Structure formats: C-alpha cells, structure tokens
Structure 1
C-alpha cells in the first residue's frame, strides 16, 4: 500500500483536499507540454482559459457567451484561446475551412451534452452514422416536401392573426386584460403586449403539428403547455397506455438549452459531478421532461394513424441503404430534434425581426409598401409562399434579422482531423478543437461595412453578394449544416409577410435594446410592442 493509499484509508477527506492540487498540476502539465501547439502558435486569450475549461464554462452559464467571446476577439484579434484545447477564429475565411465538406473534421464532445433518448442527426459524432441518418431524413426537407407543409403553417399563422385581431380591437377601445405574460393594455389606439410568447406559441404549434401530427394548442389557449409522458420506457417499447402530465414546454426547452450548452464546454469526466449541483440538476430535469414530451406526442400519433402528410409521416417513410426504417425510439428522438430545431429558431427570429422593424419605422414602411404592391387587397390575411418568396426587400429584411440576431450565434466546435488544418496561415495539429463564432463574423466590418452593428436591410442590395454570402452563417455550413433551412425560410417568409402586412408596430420603450439570453440558442427575453391594424 502506498503512502497516499494509507493516508486516504486513515482519512477520506485527504482525497478531497488532494483533488484540487491534482487538477491544477494536470492542467499545468498540459499547458507546458502544449500537445496542440496553441501556446507555440502564440494564440492569446483570457489567462484562466489557458489552463482550464472553467472560464468558458462560467461564461456559458451566464447566458451571454457570444457577446463575451466577441469582446475577447476585439481585444486579442482573430485567434482566441477559449479553453486549453479550444481556439475560436473570428474570420469569414475560417468558415470555409473549419466546416468544409470533406475536410474530415468531426463534432467535438460538446454535443454529448445534448444526448436525449438516443443519438440523432444533430448529436451523433460518428461520420457513418450521420451519413445513414441524413439519407433517411434529407428527403423530408427537400423543397418539394416542404411545400407540402405550407397549409399547416398558414393555418397556424391564421390563428395567431385572429388572436392579435381580438387584442388589437380591444386595445383600440382602451381595454386591457391578462395573457399570462405581463398582460396587454389598450392605449393611444394600440394594444401593447409582449410579442415573444405569442411567437413561441406559433412556432410550437407549427412544429408540433408537423413533427407530431397535431398542434399543442398554445395559440388558441394563449399559454405555454404541453403533455409529457410520465413513464417513457413503456411508450418507447410500444406500450400505448401512456400516462401524461402537463408542463410549460417553452420554459423547459429554454432550461434544457442553458443546461446542455453549459455542460458541453466542461470536460466529460467532470459532467457527472457537476450534474449534482442545484442549477445543473434543474437542467437534467428539463432534459427528461423534453424527452417525455416527444414520447407522449409520438405515442399518441402512432396510436391514431391519420394518413396526413407531415414531418413524422415522412420520417416513417425514410429508409437507410439496407431498406430499414427507423425504429420507434429513433423515430421519437428525431421527431424531438425537429421540435427543438424548428421551434426556438423560428420564434426567436420572428421576434427579433419584429423588434428591428418596430425600431426602424422607415424600414417597416418600405417593407409594407412592397407587401401591399405584391399582395394587393387580397381578402386572405395569410400570405402564400409563392406570392412572397421572391420579394427582394422582404428577403433582405429577414436576412438582416438573421445576421443581427443569429439564433445559433456561438462557434460550433469541431475536432481537427488527421493531417491537421491550416487556417489563415496557422497550422493546427490533429485533435485541436476549433470554432468560428457566427455572432462575430456577422459583425465583420470588412464584409458588412462600418455600420455592421446596426440593422439596415439595404446592405443586402449594396454589398458584393459573393462577399456577404461567404460570411452569412445562420444555418451553419458544410456537411453538418441545418437540414431544415428550406422549411425555416418558408415559415419566416409567411410569418413576417402576413404579420407586417396586417399590423403596424412601434416599440413600447425605444431606448431599450433587444435583451437576450444564450443557452445553445440566443433568445430574446421579451419584445414589448404596440400594434394596431393597418388599413389596406
């Protein structure tokens, strides 16, 4: 028995006292050895980040990772060390290298923190497994397939307009009421409310309808709730007698994003220990509840076949190279992925675009003129995609909103493959973790102009298209880019065209910026606006 073993046997607290010193020594040794030549390449960054992932873990947990990393880049330059083996590169040219097709780079263990039910198209890190899953899922999001989803999208946008018409009519009369989100009130001929929760309800109802066969009913109820399975194992095994309860799904999704994004930047061996801390324990509960939501919804749909065309039906049709469809647990996990990917992203973007239009009256008026010219006095208040998909200024308004408020704003971590990668003249050996932050490259003044920090859609008609597309990254880039891009753009086009053609918006407090919090996605916290019906 060694001296250490003897001391531990005599006093278990000795191990607790020894652990911090051991960790410090291990990180110092790694820094000195410099296996990935980050120190040799003279990559600057916060002092603590040289030795431990704790700095990035703390920043991520505070909810403003992208803004903090951007400020660090402004201080140190295009290369910044975020952790002992993680380099962030803030340059549009790096996008084409770090995330390129065929470069061999894989997702890092950051994505292990998002595991739920089983590996999905988003969370798998294995190249062969990703190829298999993408083959099964890709047909779902082909342009022809996404057009089949339009009637579902338009129906829910119509439900939102009816709710806002009701509130606007009451607001014009000076009425007020409660909507569970700070209430609404009539003043100066407008209704004043928080648009964010309503966009959340809309996005959840749309993707719930598409991914699970029926909406959650949030728009009509005017509140955040959804059924979750109490016991998931029975449902996943095919037992249709699923006991459910109800949860605030939007809040659960927010909690899960905070938890997974913060957990993912920590070393894998630390995660089981950190999960026991109160804040992380709440996140673990959110992960379980989110899985229960998918289990309950898929079980209900499979028990009541409908023959309708939606994401779930197309996922069921998909087959791999051997002709095998997805099993029940894989189907459920992929449907959950579509819910996560298609809800927050749409609601966040719709909210941010509405905020910027309300903050810029001349832009709002120019867009409404384009919509009036294109749609005329058509009775149907909900736009058809065919009528708006080629509207130049609408596209610029949406793209500028996605630039200013990228829902996926952080740098997505990739592991340098065998042979290494050379980025902007600096060579990184295999195993180095690299990322390119969308938040920062979307503010690159060499690309976007000196006013890159401001919302101005006209830049999309003025700047070199090849230059700006190279630095525009709302859906990521390369083989792991967002597979639902076509669906997302169709949704946003219909939502923004319909809402802005029908209402005029002003900010409740024009002096306040759009406040956000970032988990995995960067979310607005509220969007308080005054709206009134337009006369067409």
Structure 2
C-alpha cells in the first residue's frame, strides 16, 4: 500500500473520529485533526524501527488500538494465532511490537541474561504497589524473587499439602451429597439427570482454588466450597467496614481491564479510565486489593503459628536481611491470590473438559489411578491421593500437560522490551526499545514440534516425540527469570485435585463435543462447563 493511500485512509478515519467537533473553533479543530493524523501517519511513513517489512493487519501498523481492541473483545490469543497462520512466524501486532511464533525464540526472548525486561503493559496491573509479577526494574525483581522463590521451594510446598487435601475433602463432601441426592431422586429437578448430579464444574473449581489460596496466603479459607457461593470479605479503599463481594467476578473483571488498558499508549490510559467499561475495571482493581488488605490485616492482628504461605512470606528476608514491610507483604499476598486462584481453576476445568470428552483417555487414566489406590488401601475407599503417590505417574502427568498445552491458560505472547543496542532473534534484528513476544497458544500448536495432529488432545504424544523438544516448546508457566514462581505449588495442586477427582467420580459432559467457551483477560478462562457426575464403583 502506497504512502499516499495510507495518508488518505487515516485522514478519512480521523475526520470521522473528530467530526463534528461541536463548539470548537475551526482552527483548533483542524489543528487537533492534523496532530492526530501526523502522530499516526508519520511513524508509519518514516518507519523508524524497520517494521514495515513484517506482515500483519494494517491497523496494527498504525496504532496500538488494534491489539487493545482484540484484548477488549476477549480473544487476542485467537486473532494473533490466525494472523500467524496467515503470515508465518513474524507478525506485526502494533507499531512497535512484533509477535514471533517459533519455539526457538523462547530462550532468546525470555531466557536468563539476555537483557529483555517487562514492558509498560505490566504497569496496568499495579494496585497496592508493585509486586513480583508487575515489577519491571531488574534489580528490584531480583530482590523480590530472592524472598518469594524460597517460599515456593519444593520443601516448603510439600508442607502446604495438608491445606490442599483439606479443601479436596470439603469439595467431595459437597459433590457426594449431590450425587447421593441425584441417585435417590433422578430427574426430579434441573440438577440431576439419569441418576447423575448436574452442575457447572468451573464454579466448583473456582471455589476450590480460592479456598486453597485463602488458606495458604491469608490464614483461612474464604468458605466458598462450604457456602457454594462466590463471596469474600473486602475492605473498600478508605473504609474500615468489611463488606462481602463476589471475588471470582471481581478477579475476572480486573483481568479483562488490566490486559486491555496495558495495551493502550500511556497518554491514553488516564482518559480511558473515565469510560464506563474501564471505570468498572478500576473499581474491580480496588476491590480485589481490598480482599488482600482485609485478609492480611486480620492475620497480622491475630498472630498465628500456622505454617503457611503468608508465614513464610513474613519470615523471608532480602540480601540485606530485611523483611518485607506491611504494604509490600500485602502486595505479594495479592499476587499469590490472583495467580493461585485463577490459573488453578482455569486449568482444572480445561483438564476435566478434555478428559471427559475423550472416554478412552479417561479410562486409561482411571486404570493407572486404580492401581495406585489398590496399593494404597487394599480395596478400601480412597478419599484422595497423597502427592508422593501420584507425582510420578506418567499418564497422569501427560494428561495434565496435554490439556495445559491446548488450553494455554496464559495464551498470549508475554511482551518484552528489547534492550538498548537491539537484539537479533532468529536472524532478525530488533532495535532497542521495541517490543517482542512469543505467543504460547501458537507455539503450543506448532506441527513441527507437536505433530500434524497438534490440535487434538492426545496425551500419548508426550511418550512418542523428542522429550527435549517438547519441554523446550512448552511454556504454560512462561520461561526464564520471570517465569511463574509458584510452579511447584500449581503442579502439586493440579496433580492432587485431578487424580482424586478422576478416581472418585465418573464424569460426562452434558453436551459432548461442544467447544469449551472461553474469554481472555490476562489469562484465558473457561466461561462454563456443565457436567453430569456420579460416584465410581471402585
């Protein structure tokens, strides 16, 4: 497309956006339109980064608004994936941002010692103060990670297992009761079918994940499993009064808001916050922070000898022997609340979705688990497994990893700022100050890595293909120094929950074969998954 056509197209667009400018003198109106036009057209025409050679949607070359719109629609990962299918491994998704869909770029962009840092995208996720997730300064991140990574060492994570097990027991009490009622009164109401209990399993996995992280990070569960409700105590900003709000809903709204706001130019963000959709997100950010403030405040007011995540965060010290202050402690607890709830519930739902829609695979996994149960209890009922019993089960891990590959809870390409002096990635030079990313959703579907059937759920591929290649291309927890610090805890929680659920219950999708509906904020989240379940005869 010639530069003259570009100028004309953008000029027409600016006229539509700014006309009529009621009550504004003609000279000012013309000046505004001209300034907007130049701010978009000049960078495109001058091409300061040399990015015009990269293909992609034309609006993306002009403004960050294109990618922000995809995020606001909740399907950024899918749109970017389609662009890669159309154009190949390099796609321009913003004036200064190139998405690179190649597993070989993972170490170059996210690896240790390469100088790449997080972009201003992460500023939109700051509420109380910067935490480990949204800290951009390399030295400050190193200080924080030194404290927090120790908390999530495997030794410490093993001590968290009783808290997870307690939540599984509470969850199964609820499910057993529903199964018993459905068996006695099949088809009496909309919550049973053919003697099976019917419900949205995503809701229960949300309740489970929030109760576990509440127990670990704040000293006690939120009580969502027991009450079967999305509810958590909150202290609104500037108030000492505790109110009860839907934490899961708030978390979802916060993710959608921050992931969209973070893609807007910095100058536009204060204006965007005044718009109705964004103002709702601002409120959700404050309410989510209020949950952490209320919970940490109560815990500090009532000291405990509990051996949990918050206790270990309190005991942690940096290289100067200094512990975290109250505000920093609360910010890190909030980070764990967000990371430890949303990712677990999303992933658990996706894993059960794929298993229940593939009876052969479900049966094969149940056979593996039944053997462990027989050794554990000799024919007696097994309420739940211990991590030591299931952590090395090959088919269980393959089933979990295959679902994490396809669902890609963190599906977007996490943006990184190219360091001063620039960097060469896969033979392409990117100037300092530009942005690059590697989209997990697309990399997880690379047929050269995963096979021609990469869109299918088939755990057996993890035993058939080069394990080193698969692991180097598998980034559900990201990669490098900014990878998920809670990976050990997430791995344990998923192994315990999925193994225990699959062994205890026979689960069928209410609508077999139906695509799992999802929406994306920062994470890609299922919207619902209705199942029919009953106790297995084991």
TM over 0.5: yes
Q: Structure 1 residues 533 and 202 mapped into 2: Cα distance closer, same or farther (>3 Å)?
A: same
Q: Deviations over 1:230-256 (max 9, x none)?
A: 345x7xxxxxxx321010000000000
Deviation at residue 32 of structure 1 after TM alignment: 2.1
Separation in 1 of the partners of 2:185 and 2:73?
40
1:305 aligned to 287, 303, 309, which one?
Answer: 303
Q: Structure 1 residues 523 and 244 mapped into 2: Cα distance closer, same or farther (>3 Å)?
A: same
SS at match of 2:480: coil
Separation in 2 of the partners of 1:27 and 1:525?
37
2:291 aligned to 286, 290, 293, which one?
Answer: 293
Consecutive unaligned residues of structure 1, counting only runs of 5 or more, are 1-7, 178-182, 235-241
Deviation at residue 52 of structure 1 after TM alignment: 0.4
Residues 184 and 193 of structure 1 are in contact (CA less than 8 Å); yes or no, is this contact kept in structure 2?
A: no
SS at match of 1:92: coil
Residues 186 and 196 of structure 2 are in contact (CA less than 8 Å); yes or no, is this contact kept in structure 1?
A: no
Confirm whether residue 483 of structure 1 aligns to residue 485 of structure 2. yes
Separation in 2 of the partners of 1:307 and 1:284?
36
Q: Which residue of 2 aligns with 1:60?
A: 71
Separation in 2 of the partners of 1:260 and 1:307?
36
Deviation at residue 14 of structure 1 after TM alignment: 6.0
1:225 aligned to 220, 231, 234, which one?
Answer: 231
Q: Which residue of 1 aligns with 2:10?
A: none
SS at match of 2:99: strand
Separation in 2 of the partners of 1:397 and 1:16?
60
Deviation at residue 175 of structure 1 after TM alignment: 5.1
Q: Which residue of 1 aligns with 2:107?
A: 96
Separation in 2 of the partners of 1:502 and 1:494?
12
Separation in 1 of the partners of 2:30 and 2:227?
54
Deviation at residue 418 of structure 1 after TM alignment: 2.1
Separation in 2 of the partners of 1:24 and 1:286?
35
Confirm whether residue 442 of structure 1 aligns to residue 453 of structure 2. no
Q: Which residue of 1 aligns with 2:532?
A: 530
2:209 aligned to 197, 203, 209, which one?
Answer: 203
2:255 aligned to 254, 257, 262, which one?
Answer: 257
Deviation at residue 519 of structure 1 after TM alignment: 0.4
Separation in 1 of the partners of 2:336 and 2:42?
43
The root-mean-square deviation of aligned C-alpha atoms, in Å, is 1.5
Q: Deviations over 1:204-263 (max 9, x none)?
A: 00001001011000000001000001345x7xxxxxxx3210100000000000000000
Q: Which residue of 2 aligns with 1:30?
A: 43
Confirm whether residue 124 of structure 1 aligns to residue 135 of structure 2. yes
Q: Which residue of 1 aligns with 2:243?
A: 245
- Which TM-score applies when normalising by structure 1? 0.93
SS at match of 1:517: strand
Q: Structure 1 residues 37 and 192 mapped into 2: Cα distance closer, same or farther (>3 Å)?
A: same
SS at match of 2:48: coil
Separation in 1 of the partners of 2:328 and 2:529?
36
SS at match of 1:159: helix
Consecutive unaligned residues of structure 2, counting only runs of 5 or more, are 1-20
Residues 36 and 430 of structure 1 are in contact (CA less than 8 Å); yes or no, is this contact kept in structure 2?
A: no
State the aligned residue count: 513
Separation in 2 of the partners of 1:333 and 1:277?
27
- Which TM-score applies when normalising by structure 2? 0.93
Q: Structure 1 residues 184 and 291 mapped into 2: Cα distance closer, same or farther (>3 Å)?
A: farther
Return 400-409 or 418-427, whichever deviates more.
418-427
Separation in 2 of the partners of 1:176 and 1:14?
72
Residues 353 and 398 of structure 1 are in contact (CA less than 8 Å); yes or no, is this contact kept in structure 2?
A: yes
Separation in 1 of the partners of 2:223 and 2:26?
54
Q: Structure 1 residues 511 and 430 mapped into 2: Cα distance closer, same or farther (>3 Å)?
A: same
Deviation at residue 386 of structure 1 after TM alignment: 0.3
Deviation at residue 419 of structure 1 after TM alignment: 2.7
Q: Which residue of 1 aligns with 2:519?
A: 517
Q: Structure 1 residues 14 and 318 mapped into 2: Cα distance closer, same or farther (>3 Å)?
A: farther
Deviation at residue 422 of structure 1 after TM alignment: 1.2
Separation in 2 of the partners of 1:15 and 1:282?
33
Q: Structure 1 residues 17 and 215 mapped into 2: Cα distance closer, same or farther (>3 Å)?
A: farther
Q: Which residue of 2 aligns with 1:461?
A: 463
Return 371-380 or 399-408, whichever deviates more.
371-380
Separation in 1 of the partners of 2:415 and 2:164?
33
Separation in 1 of the partners of 2:227 and 2:26?
55
SS at match of 1:163: helix
Residues 422 and 430 of structure 2 are in contact (CA less than 8 Å); yes or no, is this contact kept in structure 1?
A: yes
